Structure 1
């Protein structure tokens, strides 16, 4: 490290006690300033849908490495997010074309 400084250990997890003690306005300000936190005003959620999971089928599939890495960067649940993207695409395509 330059100037003889040592690296700080990465902080993992959430300090729930500190968060619970924080005023709501401070939490909102911190979230708004966080570059990794997408904007979430009302217009952001206008097209959102909530769906209940249906029966899952286990398959073996191959995906491009960068696609999997992209979803993995979001942390746990990456396969669920991949499924959600595929489902959304399927629903959009199904709605465009009449079924045969």
Structure 2
């Protein structure tokens, strides 16, 4: 007996400030990557479907984005381009958290 199936994964790649095509508000949009992987005996082996989307945090509408445009948006977020919030002092950029600070014993 062979047990196989699919499993979905959702990755949040970046948060950008864009003008929404639905509501027209300049608001934060999350860039997400949805990956569906084929699994055999509950072990995910390889991706069979990849989809990129942006979701408006104001109205909640979700738009499908081609891979090329998703790469451009991700590069814009990484470079701190227009629409990308700048990292705050003491915080890392996207996906790069700062290590915790050691507190001396008192």
TM-score (norm. length: structure 1): 0.25
- Greater fraction of residues in strand: 2
Instruction: State the TM-score, normalizing by the size of structure 2.
Output: 0.24
Larger Rg: 1
**Greater relative CO, 1 or 2 (CA 8 Å, sep 6+):** 2
